[in-house]
Structure 1
Amino acid sequence: MALLAEARQWFEQWIGAAATAVDGVAGRFMHRRSVAFDENADGSFTAHLTASRDGSLPAPLSFRLEHAALPPMLSADWKAALDRSCIEVRLQPDLVVSRLLDFPGQAADFLDGMIRAQVDRLTPWSVADAVFGWASPQPVANDRIEVAFSATSAAKVDPLIRLAKTLGCASVVVSVPAIGSDGVPLRVTLLDRKLRGLAGPNVSRLLRVGLASATAAAAACLLLNIYLGGALQSEQDDLQLRISQRRAALRLDANSDSSGLGLLAKRKQTTPSSVMVLEALSRVLPDTTYVTELRIEGPKVQVVGLTQDAPSLIRLMEQSPQFTRATFFAPTTRAANETAERFHVEADITAYFGSGS
């Protein structure tokens, strides 16, 4: 249960961060309507639209805050203008507490803590009951800075925030004008609060639906992968078994004399090679013998040539393990103008051609 609660908390945090990011991107590209609420001296407010996309501006609207609601005669134009708008409430400087604070120049990075610690001394309210802010520090003499500080009661600002929420506004900014010691006009922001996303109220719900759909799709893909992976693995194992069986059958056929592969292997082992026969003859015949014809017919070889001692060729070939039954198949002759004898010898070829002894 704790793990589930942590996962849900993480999910909500992710939704919030994603919605904020989407709203930030939408805020850059979407048109922001700005509505100014100017406070009058009698405490009432006058609302007027500062910008419009089509250039048509509704007439200014004066109202008083009564239970955080506008008068019932609010027109359709104003309802459309206030929807998702950015309201800037500009308070009267005479109706807020304003001070010019003096600090050392090195305190510029610590103004937040230093000012908060003095709110109950500078205003009639505590930190929790006040809405306050300050302008950017201005350098003055002797390496010091001057800060324009303003504050008002939270009870005065809360009805404005509730009103903005009721009207569907996107944000509320409460500010007040101020003047520095050198007479330069300043503006102090007391409050800057975002009330809703500019991209629409359904962004979080859409993100939830999108993330849930993506999770479901990922789970479906995982299950499909497991199923298909198991089926493919089974087919691969079956194919591997069939390949192994086929290879075993081929090896068995290769070792069988009755098969084609066996007959080919046997023929290769028993049929003499012409190159091997020629090599065997070159080792047997003496250097004074010259071969002019060589015929291999089946298991027999016939050699015709010239030599100094033809009878000795029969003995030499008989001594070779590659030849047997050597004999003359034609008479040995000698021409009148030749010193060598012309011989005609044939012999049986053995099936094995190893190294001669």
Structure 2
Amino acid sequence: MKLTEAIERGLTVWTASVATAIEAVADRQLRRPRILIRYDQPETVVMTVQAPPKAKPTLAPARVNPAAGAAHVGLSPEWLRTLRGAALEIHLAAESVLIRPLDYPKQAEPFLDGMIRTQIGRLTPWNLEQVLYGYSAPRTANDRIALTLAATPRALVQPLLALADQVGAAKLVITTDVGSGSPDAAPIQIFKTSLRSSLAGGRDLGRVLKLGWLSVAATTAVLLIATTLIGGYVDGELDDAQAQVARLRAALRPAMGATAADGLLAKRKQTSPASVIVLDTLSKILPDGTYVVEMHIENDRLQISGLTQDAPALIGLIEQSPQFSRATFYAPTTRTAGEAGERFHIEARINAYFGDRA
């Protein structure tokens, strides 16, 4: 990744976070209209204003076809004014959503987001770019956690996203129910986004902040160019002087003898991890019932994978050994039907010295 791309991505993320915080404060101060959208027919949705409790609706429900090229044209001026800057809550029927129960070890709860994200292509018929998904709150029982995954193709709701952009909505949330017979009573949120800000004249507040910071950066860059040109000349002269000093030192340094060469080899031997020693250390610290299927050593990094009964416990055992540090999972822990345990993938740093520490 180029430096400019990394800077632009970091600035985009930072300005988006700032814009989200500003919008959160604005939401508390300014009461945005909330519009509930439900599918009435396969291609028709019904929009209803969510009025406060014990209050009469301000507008009659409206029906539109999001798939039409300009669906918002048929809306009344009152509806168009209400939709501009409103928060849209789109509710999908269970028939339009893929519902799948999931089960994981309790120790995998901190890694649920990453595990589901990496397995979305196996859990659903769509890849990560084609799907919108969410999952219910995990339920714990007998050292296992159960949850419900809800996913729908992005193409199904793309007309609704286009309609929200056409009418100038500020926020968009897509939820679905998993069915009345399921213990998951709360709706599952499968998508949420901020489209634009009412504080920035209907434009994306994060983009406005980003352009402002880029203008400041451009002005600063003009001032730095002259300094860089002058500094480059000075640095070139300094590099030439350092090169001359290095050549003089090399000419005055005596030739390295056999003793120095032997010391260099001994130092290299002590600072380079041996595969045999690593394997012997692992065999001592890993518990019975744990089987290492693959082991890779590259420089000071060790990667092992295999089967065990309690994958998270291996992290603590490896960390307790003085020969390893910074142990972590580099891939999700999975359980496959027919296997006796969990398949783990662990990465750790190999400490440089493996001799007696006395």
Q: State TM-score, norm by structure 1.
A: 0.50
1:327 maps to none
CA deviation profile, 1:46-86 (whole Å, cap 9, x unmatched): 11111269854211112222245325331011011101001
User: C-alpha distance in 1, partners of 2:16/2:119?
Assistant: 34
Kindly indicate whether the alpha-carbon contact (under 8 Å) linking 1:175 and 1:189 is maintained by their aligned counterparts in 2. yes
Partner of 1:101, secondary structure, is strand
User: C-alpha distance in 1, partners of 2:126/2:114?
Assistant: 17
The structural deviation recorded for 1:43 is 4.1
The 1:21–1:71 alpha-carbon spacing in structure 2 relative to 1, beyond 3 Å, is closer
The structural deviation recorded for 1:179 is 4.2
Kindly indicate whether the alpha-carbon contact (under 8 Å) linking 2:49 and 2:57 is maintained by their aligned counterparts in 1. no
2:147 maps to 147
The structural deviation recorded for 1:209 is 8.1
- Counterpart mapping for 1:27-106 below 5 A: 27-51=27-51, 55-67=56-68, 69-70=70-71, 72-106=73-107
The structural deviation recorded for 1:134 is 0.5
User: C-alpha distance in 2, partners of 1:115/1:66?
Assistant: 31
Q: Letter of the aligned partner of 1:49 in structure 2?
A: V
1:158 aligned onto 2:134: no
Partner of 1:40, secondary structure, is strand
Partner of 1:72, secondary structure, is helix
2:138 maps to 137
1:168 maps to 168
Unmatched segments (≥5 aa) in structure 1: 217-357
Query: Across the two proteins, how many residue pairs are aligned to each other?
Result: 212
Partner of 1:178, secondary structure, is coil
Q: Letter of the aligned partner of 2:200 in structure 1?
A: G
User: C-alpha distance in 1, partners of 2:96/2:212?
Assistant: 48
Kindly indicate whether the alpha-carbon contact (under 8 Å) linking 1:23 and 1:197 is maintained by their aligned counterparts in 2. yes
User: C-alpha distance in 1, partners of 2:41/2:211?
Assistant: 48
Q: Letter of the aligned partner of 1:107 in structure 2?
A: A
1:26 maps to 26
Q: Letter of the aligned partner of 2:110 in structure 1?
A: D
CA deviation profile, 1:16-50 (whole Å, cap 9, x unmatched): 66544433321221102110111235342111111
CA deviation profile, 1:271-330 (whole Å, cap 9, x unmatched): xxxxxxxxxxxxxxxxxxxxxxxxxxxxxxxxxxxxxxxxxxxxxxxxxxxxxxxxxxxx
User: C-alpha distance in 1, partners of 2:99/2:122?
Assistant: 13
Kindly indicate whether the alpha-carbon contact (under 8 Å) linking 2:100 and 2:150 is maintained by their aligned counterparts in 1. yes
Kindly indicate whether the alpha-carbon contact (under 8 Å) linking 1:19 and 1:207 is maintained by their aligned counterparts in 2. no
Kindly indicate whether the alpha-carbon contact (under 8 Å) linking 1:96 and 1:151 is maintained by their aligned counterparts in 2. yes
Kindly indicate whether the alpha-carbon contact (under 8 Å) linking 1:148 and 1:180 is maintained by their aligned counterparts in 2. no
The structural deviation recorded for 1:6 is 11
Q: Letter of the aligned partner of 2:24 in structure 1?
A: G
Q: State TM-score, norm by structure 2.
A: 0.50
User: C-alpha distance in 2, partners of 1:37/1:196?
Assistant: 19
User: C-alpha distance in 1, partners of 2:5/2:191?
Assistant: 34
Kindly indicate whether the alpha-carbon contact (under 8 Å) linking 1:27 and 1:199 is maintained by their aligned counterparts in 2. no
Unmatched segments (≥5 aa) in structure 2: 220-358
Kindly indicate whether the alpha-carbon contact (under 8 Å) linking 2:176 and 2:188 is maintained by their aligned counterparts in 1. yes
Q: Letter of the aligned partner of 1:34 in structure 2?
A: R
User: C-alpha distance in 2, partners of 1:17/1:104?
Assistant: 33
User: C-alpha distance in 2, partners of 1:16/1:127?
Assistant: 22
The 1:68–1:158 alpha-carbon spacing in structure 2 relative to 1, beyond 3 Å, is farther
The structural deviation recorded for 1:105 is 1.4
Partner of 2:35, secondary structure, is strand
1:108 maps to 109
Kindly indicate whether the alpha-carbon contact (under 8 Å) linking 1:27 and 1:198 is maintained by their aligned counterparts in 2. no
User: C-alpha distance in 2, partners of 1:166/1:178?
Assistant: 30
User: C-alpha distance in 1, partners of 2:115/2:157?
Assistant: 24
Kindly indicate whether the alpha-carbon contact (under 8 Å) linking 1:176 and 1:188 is maintained by their aligned counterparts in 2. yes
Kindly indicate whether the alpha-carbon contact (under 8 Å) linking 2:87 and 2:171 is maintained by their aligned counterparts in 1. yes
2:351 maps to none
Partner of 1:39, secondary structure, is strand
